Amino acid sequence: MTAATSRSTQPSRWTGRRLQAVVSYTLRSCIGRKRWLGCLLPCAGALLFGLLAHAIDEPGGEAFAAVAANGIFALVVPIVSLVIGDAVLGAEIRSGVFHFTWLSPTPFGLIVLGRWLGGCITALLTVVPACALAALVAGEPASAAAAAAGAAAGVTAYIAVFIAIGCVARRAAVWSLAFVFLVERLLGTALSGIAQWSPMWEARAVFLDLAPGVPDSLIRRGIPVGGGAMVRLALITVLALLVARRRLAHLALSGAAD
């Protein structure tokens, strides 16, 4: 090349532009057409759960709370988060494309943060409105904000967890499913100590705390609710992102054998 290319020397501008580049790349490249479909199908499932509330012979608020707690937060939110969380990093590492990002002076923390933000934006455009719509479909507009808030809190933590799993495990999708169905559903149901650190249970707790007309039977004792659940989800998010950042620094991107 003939002309010398100048590099940004202002740290804040430099960081902001790189973060923007990573987020933009995540939205354009990581979440492809198939991944969007993979997000939207479970979102349609959320709407079906909203319809299902009409079939439950209980007062409207209680019926929707039940389908949201046991269907939307137990299935739709984790599955959409898995699709997004795996796409933004794990899938790229496996496909051998990630080294274009890794081989840059961009700090690992910024890469992880950008990928997570990109994933969260995707979730905010898909599953969060779908959960609010499900409440409207169920005829419970008063629960829409609670469903959206619970979903938003849940996906932010879930995506961070699945990003971390993608950095740690080669078969990230399998391990992520095992985390949701074995650790959270099976062990989390039996052991409140595990539920306290489960995005599923904590997101559900956020929703149940905010939604009107929730029966006591749905509220689980022994785990934080409301603001406490939000704090717990924030902690899970930060811990998972730190694990991912640390793991990226030690990642061996061997690719295909020569």
Partner 1 sequence: MSRPGEAEDPAFARQATVQVDNASVWFGQKVALSELSCSFGGGVTGLLGPNGAGKTTLMRAITGLVPVNQGSVRVEGRNPRQDRSVHTRVALVPEDEAVPTGLSARQFVAYVADLHGIEDRGAPERALAQVSMLDVADRRVDGFSKGMRQRVKVAAALVTEPAVLVLDEPLNGADPVQRAALIELFRRLGSEGRTVIVSSHVLNEVERLADRIIVVIHGRLAAAGGQRAIRDAMNDRPRHVLVRTEDSRRLAAGLVGLGSVSGVRLEGHDVVVSTSRAAELALALPGLARSLSVRLEEVRPLDDSLESLFRELVR
**Per-residue contact string for residues 107-136; x = within reach of partner 1 by CB under 8 A:** xx----------------------------
Cα separation, 184 vs 171, in Å, equals 19
**Per-residue contact string for residues 62-101; x = within reach of partner 1 by CB under 8 A:** ---------------------------------xxx-xxx
Q: Please state, as a whole number, how many other Cβ atoms lie within 10 Å of the Cβ of residue 132.
A: 22
Compare residues 9 and 217 and give the one whose CB is closer to partner 1.
9
Single-letter amino acid, residue 161: V
3-class secondary structure, 36: helix
Question: Taking the complex as a whole, how short is the minimal distance between the CB of residue 19 and partner 1, in angstroms?
Answer: 10
Closest C-alpha to 156, from 96, 88, 222: 88
The answer to the question of residue 8 lying near partner 1 (CB under 8 A) is yes
Cα separation, 74 vs 97, in Å, equals 32
Question: Taking the complex as a whole, how short is the minimal distance between the CB of residue 103 and partner 1, in angstroms?
Answer: 6
Nearby residues of 144 by Cβ (< 8 Å), 6 or more positions away:
132, 133, 135, 136
For partner 1, the binding residue among 48, 182, 187, 253 (CB under 8 A) is 253
For partner 1, the binding residue among 55, 57, 221, 252 (CB under 8 A) is 252
Applying CB under 8 A, the span of 22-30, 128-136, 164-172, 233-241 interacting with partner 1 comes to 22-30
> What does DSSP assign to residue 1?
-
The answer to the question of residue 16 lying near partner 1 (CB under 8 A) is no
Compare residues 29 and 192 and give the one whose CB is closer to partner 1.
29
Structure tokens at 258: 């020569």
The answer to the question of residue 54 lying near partner 1 (CB under 8 A) is no
- How distant is the alpha carbon of residue 247 from its chain centre? 19
Half-sphere exposure of 92 (CA within 13 A, CB side): 23
Q: Which of residues 181-240 bind partner 1 (CB under 8 A)?
A: none
Structure tokens at 226: 């409301």
Residues contributing to the site for partner 1 (CB under 8 A): 1, 3-8, 14, 17-18, 20-22, 24-25, 28-29, 32-33, 95-97, 99-108, 252-258
